Structure 1
Amino acid sequence: MTQTPSPFALLFAAVISQLLPFSVVVVVTGLGSASTIAISYGSNTVCGVLAGETNQRVECYKGGRAIAVEPNISFALLSGGRDFFCGLKSDGVMFLCWDGSSFVPKRVYFNSSAGLRDLSVGDDHVCGVENVTGVAKCWYRGEDESKRGSFVAPNGVKFASITSGRGFSCGVLMDDIKSVRCWGNSSIGLDIEKQFRNVSMLSLVAGDSHVCGLNVTGYLVCNGRNDSGQLDVPKGSSGYGFEFDGLAMGVNHSCAIRSVNGTVVCWGGNAGFELEGNGVGELSFESIVAGVNITCGLTTRNLSVVCWGPGSNRTMGDLPLQKIIPGQCVQGSCSCGVRQNSRAMRRQRSGTSSKHGDRAEEFSLSQLANATNNFSLENRIGSGSFGTVYKGKLFDGREVAIKRGDISLKLKKLQDKENAFQSELAFLSRLHHKHLVGFVGFCEEKEERLLVYEFMKNGALYDHLHLKENIDKASSILNSWKVRIKIALDAARGIEYLHSYAVPPIIHRDIKSSNILLDANWTARVSDFGLSLMGPESEDEYMVTKAAGTVGYMDPEYYELNVLTVKSDVYSFGVVLLELLTGKRAILKNEDEEGPPINMAEFIAEKISVGELERILDPRVGLPDKKEMEAVELLAYMALHCVNLEGRERPSMNDIVANLERALALCDDSHGSISSISISIGSE
């Protein structure tokens, strides 16, 4: 098992395959995972999903010429086998397979109520994953009927993604562990499954007899046979994971795209894939696929296909295919023309298969302009870390919130905008939790940068606490202690997920009431990851980085020393708890108009510590009744610990969640007392 990096999460990993009738005849293997390129090695054919046309139709290269493949409908993904290749229709309800010699289509699967979201072709079998259930289904197309039963996928197992090798398939399970399961008529698959035991994976790509993929910390892990060094992954330069992007595995070689610049590195294959001197090493690629002793890639420069390797004894050059779509599109949901700079987004999407099988969508600027009435003032609903937020309605009726990067920024701030956009895109695409804002998709077009989220009908917590229209006691459902504690608990669970269950942990850095949104059911969700950073593996560790955040919420230790830990988020959340208790803003006006503003956390914490809690409670909610008082006291003392000036004295988010759960239960239970229940805080 070996390591290497790649930013965000794998992707359309390769169709392990091969191709074309060049001067040197090459035996190839069309194995791997779905992409927008597929190769049928037995018929020496390479195919791709075309960009820039009304339909995302398929075109193939065979015998020195391009061939338009029927039917002329839109496809999302392709994958190739020995004598055939298959394509998944854009809406997922059907896939077709074509004979690589005659190109006669045959419908293998159609189900309008159970569409597929993944497709993987091995040597002579096909597997797909149902969009909603995550269940894998397989079809055997070989002549040996005795093998048919071997390709039945594990019963009742739900998969996030699958990949296929020669005689076997493997998949990443849709569970918290993200473990690997393999099946088929080859013992290689079972051996590979054993080697991946206890390793949590984001994605997999199969070769002839080996499998590589990203684990949950972003490192490249390879298992299987290692006859020619195909498992000997070169160590990445950063040492932080997510260094490699797209993958391609042949029979005895492996290749990967460097995420930093899109260039390719290969290993194994008896040193037959050296890239120096042939021009390929200088090219940037969107995706790559591999055959027995040849590799092909989709170039970033013009979305053409270039091939190289010992099978040709030379660089083959651009194949005469039209421009190929660099990443999966769903018909009607994205602009499927030529999309430069899409590799970064695809890296986000590679690890995005959540337990619901979600996929980020790419939109055109015109689609989002139409959705927001051309970004009208009437549709404006707020602002975020790098731009303005608008309410929008997509063509299919979905209500969304669209964050548009500020296009009027001065030149020196453009990089900050780009960093915030890429950061939020990266985190939103790999994070899925009921208490984090739902991510829909994005748009990258010229200088425009936009992010699309689920619309949170009830807006931001900040608005309900501080806007004038909510001053009246009866104006908001939030004017109830039980509801406020429930919202605090929801948000705490979202932050707990970032700190304790995301791998590596994530420090939000901008927790505040305006970044806690409320959906139609008044469920709270944490939003805006523009300032977020991957944090250290342990709560005892820290990072040294320039302070960023919002005045009034920022951890004093972080602000003064530039030392960042997960406890910095805890401090910020403590300020939010105090807002819920008091209804006051994080920064208070000084009664002496000439004096400096007052930090609310310091002022209120002092009041609580001297026993004046009832005097500072939000009058809109009023004094708690008898059964609520203990819960409010628990909330107050929890907040007091959170805003401790020393980070090591603050509770963890796990402690906070546990205590808020107890506080919510106390709202319906008049038994016990604050002294008898005490606050559960694990000391550092």
Structure 2
Amino acid sequence: MTRLLLAALLLLAAAALVSASTLAIAAGPTVCGVAADNATAYCAATNNSSYSARAVAPFIGFSQVSSGGGGFVCGLQVGGRAFFCWPTATPDQLRRVYNGPSRLSGLAVGGGHVAAYDVGERVIRWWRGGARFPAQVGGGFSSLVSGDDFTCAVETNTSAVRCWGPGGSAVQVAFLNTSVSTLAAGGSRACGVLMNTGAVLCSGSDAGAVAPRDLSDLAGLAVGDSHACGLMKPNHTAACWNIAGPTTTLYYPAFGTAFEFLVAGGNLSCGLVTTNFSLLCWSTNVFVASEVQLPAILPGVCVSDAKSCKCGVFTRSGELCSVPGNVICNRFCDVPPPPVLPPPPSPSSPPPASRRISKTWIVFAVVGAVGSFAGLCSIVYCLVFGFCSHKKVHNSVQPNIAGAADNGGTPSPYGSPNGLQSLGLFRRQLSRVMTRQRSGPSSFKEPAEEFTFAQLAAATKDFALEAKISEGSFGTVYWGNFADGREVAIKRGESRLHARKFQEKESAFRSELAFLSRLHHKHLVGFVGYCQENDERLLVYEYMKNGALYDHIHPKACAPSSSSSPVTSSWKLRITILLDASRGIDYLHSYAVPPIIHRDIKSSNILLDGSWVAHVSDFELSLMGPETEETHMSMKAAGTVGYMDPEYYGLHHLTVKSDVYSFGVVMLEVLTGKRAIFKDAEGGSPVSVVDYAVPSIVAGELNKVLDGRAPEPSAHEAEAVELVAYTALHCVRLEGKDRPAMANIVANLETAVALCKGSASAAGGLVNSSSSAGLSITSMEL
């Protein structure tokens, strides 16, 4: 009895690690995993071996990944204080769903929801589950798993299975009066290893189904839509069987191959090979395993507490875990850990003298040859490029900040040599801006093109007045048309400036170039190329046929299209444009590590293409922000009056929430049709749109401030407009800590667009209910 109890306790202790995995299977079919060498998440298609694995946000380290077999995957960041989700088809569209003070573990993604265990609060939390799941459930749990419409976990004190969600009761009923050591879920089913017998019991559509008798007391378990797989003791090879239909078919997809663990999703299963951490996958209609082209995957989740590893610590934890001191727990107690490579010979027993001498001479010869070659290259480089002059070289990977030197007279750490003296250096540095991307979130799909000034002059008819689109602080924007038919927008910095003004133009040019060359997102303005000749500085963008959002909300009285713009006449289009822009800003905040702060979000910097899709533009003032939302940067305010965050303007405290405030002003512009700063009557005092609109929104009198040029919203549109108004209200709060994150704003605007279409359930984004500044449709904290 004592031995049985001890074995049960060991199984229960190991079960806490079962739900947390470094591999996930999603629709596609696609497999995503956490690389063993750098904690980067990679995804690869299993049905096409010619496609190489794609890195997901290579500047974010992940500890675990999860998917419910649907169209998205989620990954928990190293440290457990944030997790991100991305569509399997477009992994570059990454979104941060949670970013909070509490540490999470056991991420479990279902068909349309995400569950995780809050370690600090000792509760299970849900995201994207709407009202289908409780806000949180307290207690101690292990083996947290999710299926299509349910989440289940094993209570640590009773080993009983508890389930939540619409399908939770159907799953839980088969596990009544049982104790479970290991739990797995997939589709509409869950399977568990019973502690008293070691048998596998499955519930859901086929409640009470058991595995073949040959498969008892399994070392690991994975469940798909209609099949399950387990690791057999003691060799840890995989055996699979169907859990749907009148008969059970048992098969061995990779006989003789030992696996660290198994994962399943849909009709696919995969196993991580023990010997080399490679990945083998097989499906229910192809029983033979084949290798998937992913890098070596972490054999387990790295944890900070080695004492929790009841079966001992994985011997290679030190080299595999990215955080010093973290370890990977052994999954199995029934086999010894993998062999350790023999240590190098002790100094007390040196090798024979002849071998030592020969190796020494070989090393000496190699080092000498390399040194001679490097010296020769240095001499040639000095002669050709004049690198031996005593010019100070600045790293241009970090963007330069326009006007940053004005911050209390302190030069910017990202600064460049002053005035015209920087021209020669900048030519050499420019290639680094275009090629070194290690500090940014994503490189542009196509390399930026370098144009000659003559090419751009020809495209704009020598920068003719009729080609002029707009003017900004950096210079003038022109419409251009190349010989190959491409339409572009060309931003030309003002020329013939004195040294100080030239340096400001140079800094703005290099800052925007540095960001544009690294960023790529469908809702950021497309970057085509650049030109730098003598004192000319030009940037080339994709042409946005329908101009700036500002021009449609505030058209000139003489403009022929002032009353015919679809933006003016459609609430749905207005809100869709806001959603597009919010996604672009969320990309800057959530994808970039560290986040990128735009610093000049306004309606004139939101451009509309020929299909009325919005793109965020103008990165002259952008810079890399602090690592967390709780910290700020101190610097002199820069931006546009009316849109600037009061904390940033008054206290010089800059955070990503400064962009949130600016975007709140844009939302109020779109709702009211008023400029950020306007005169309520001829000769009256200037009024901000925030002071104009907020009192009416708080009083529940939104109709008083809505743009009268737009038609009266329909019933669903009225709900959408109200949701946008309350979201904007949260965005323009005085203190940044009270404002929502851009991910929350995106979620609310997705819901608003769905409401405009007449279906709230069609909204793809749902709200992070645990965020202190989170938003929801039904609960708005005023």
* TM-score, L = length of structure 2: 0.46
Q: Secondary structure at the match of 1:474?
A: coil
User: Which of residues 427, 445, 466 is equivalent to 1:357?
Assistant: 445
**Residue 627 of structure 2: aligned partner:** 537
**Aligned pairs for 1:162-201 within 5 A:** 176=92
**Residue 368 of structure 1: aligned partner:** 456
2:665 partner amino acid: V
**Residue 556 of structure 1: aligned partner:** 646
User: Which of residues 403, 409, 432 is equivalent to 1:347?
Assistant: 432
Answering whether residue 468 of structure 2 is matched by residue 383 of structure 1, we say no
Q: Secondary structure at the match of 2:488?
A: strand
**Residue 392 of structure 1: aligned partner:** 480
User: Which of residues 680, 686, 689 is equivalent to 1:600?
Assistant: 689
Deviations 1:126-173 (A, max 9, x none): xxxxxxxxx9xxxxxxxxxxxxxxxxx97311679xxxxxxxxxxxxx
**Aligned pairs for 1:381-420 within 5 A:** 381-420=469-508
Indicate how the Cα distance of structure 1 residues 304 and 554 shifts in structure 2: closer, same or farther if over 3 A, else same: closer
Indicate how the Cα distance of structure 1 residues 367 and 666 shifts in structure 2: closer, same or farther if over 3 A, else same: same
**Residue 16 of structure 1: aligned partner:** none
**Residue 283 of structure 2: aligned partner:** none
Answering whether residue 549 of structure 2 is matched by residue 457 of structure 1, we say no
**Residue 30 of structure 1: aligned partner:** none
Q: Which of 1 and 2 has greater Rg?
A: 2
Deviations 1:624-681 (A, max 9, x none): 1112110000000001110111111111000000000001111122679xxxx99968
> Does structure 1 conserve the Cα–Cα contact (< 8 Å) formed by 2:452 and 2:531?
yes
Q: Secondary structure at the match of 1:416?
A: helix
Indicate how the Cα distance of structure 1 residues 562 and 304 shifts in structure 2: closer, same or farther if over 3 A, else same: closer
Distance 1:271 1:539 in 2: 51
**Residue 571 of structure 1: aligned partner:** 661
CA offset at residue 412 of structure 1? 2.9
**Residue 640 of structure 1: aligned partner:** 729
**Residue 508 of structure 1: aligned partner:** 598
> Does structure 2 conserve the Cα–Cα contact (< 8 Å) formed by 1:300 and 1:341?
no
CA offset at residue 433 of structure 1? 0.3
Q: Secondary structure at the match of 1:440?
A: strand
**Aligned pairs for 1:490-509 within 5 A:** 490-509=580-599
**Residue 656 of structure 1: aligned partner:** 745
Indicate how the Cα distance of structure 1 residues 538 and 298 shifts in structure 2: closer, same or farther if over 3 A, else same: farther
Answering whether residue 527 of structure 2 is matched by residue 439 of structure 1, we say yes
CA offset at residue 341 of structure 1? 3.3
User: Which of residues 134, 156, 176 is equivalent to 2:51?
Assistant: 156
Distance 1:425 1:668 in 2: 39
**Residue 39 of structure 2: aligned partner:** none
User: Which of residues 563, 570, 577 is equivalent to 1:480?
Assistant: 570
CA offset at residue 589 of structure 1? 1.1
1:418 partner amino acid: E
Distance 2:379 2:482 in 1: 34
Q: What percentage of aligned pairs have identical amino acids?
A: 54
Deviations 1:396-448 (A, max 9, x none): 22110000001144443222211111100000000000000000010111111
Aligned-residue Cα RMSD (Å) equals 4.1
CA offset at residue 599 of structure 1? 1.4
Indicate how the Cα distance of structure 1 residues 603 and 154 shifts in structure 2: closer, same or farther if over 3 A, else same: same
**Residue 670 of structure 2: aligned partner:** 580
Distance 2:382 2:487 in 1: 33
Can you give the 5+ residue segments of structure 1 that lack an aligned partner in the other structure? 1-134, 136-152, 161-173, 179-186, 199-214, 216-226, 228-250, 254-268, 275-289, 307-337
Indicate how the Cα distance of structure 1 residues 193 and 472 shifts in structure 2: closer, same or farther if over 3 A, else same: closer
* TM-score, L = length of structure 1: 0.52
Indicate how the Cα distance of structure 1 residues 471 and 596 shifts in structure 2: closer, same or farther if over 3 A, else same: farther
CA offset at residue 561 of structure 1? 0.5
1:635 partner amino acid: V
CA offset at residue 295 of structure 1? 4.2
Structure of greater relative contact order (alpha carbons < 8 Å, 6+ residues apart)? 1
Distance 1:252 1:438 in 2: 51
Distance 2:767 2:50 in 1: 47
Indicate how the Cα distance of structure 1 residues 509 and 370 shifts in structure 2: closer, same or farther if over 3 A, else same: same
> Does structure 2 conserve the Cα–Cα contact (< 8 Å) formed by 1:626 and 1:670?
no
Deviations 1:108-127 (A, max 9, x none): xxxxxxxxxxxxxxxxxxxx
477-486 or 542-551: bigger deviation: 477-486
Indicate how the Cα distance of structure 1 residues 340 and 624 shifts in structure 2: closer, same or farther if over 3 A, else same: same
Indicate how the Cα distance of structure 1 residues 341 and 617 shifts in structure 2: closer, same or farther if over 3 A, else same: same
User: Which of residues 609, 626, 634 is equivalent to 1:519?
Assistant: 609
Indicate how the Cα distance of structure 1 residues 385 and 347 shifts in structure 2: closer, same or farther if over 3 A, else same: farther
**Aligned pairs for 1:289-300 within 5 A:** 295=377, 299=381
> Does structure 1 conserve the Cα–Cα contact (< 8 Å) formed by 2:443 and 2:517?
no
Indicate how the Cα distance of structure 1 residues 632 and 300 shifts in structure 2: closer, same or farther if over 3 A, else same: farther
2:697 partner amino acid: I
> Does structure 2 conserve the Cα–Cα contact (< 8 Å) formed by 1:631 and 1:666?
yes
> Does structure 2 conserve the Cα–Cα contact (< 8 Å) formed by 1:299 and 1:305?
yes
> Does structure 2 conserve the Cα–Cα contact (< 8 Å) formed by 1:491 and 1:516?
yes
**Residue 304 of structure 2: aligned partner:** none
> Does structure 1 conserve the Cα–Cα contact (< 8 Å) formed by 2:568 and 2:709?
no
1:643 partner amino acid: V
Distance 2:759 2:643 in 1: 33
CA offset at residue 384 of structure 1? 3.2
CA offset at residue 540 of structure 1? 1.1
1:682 partner amino acid: S
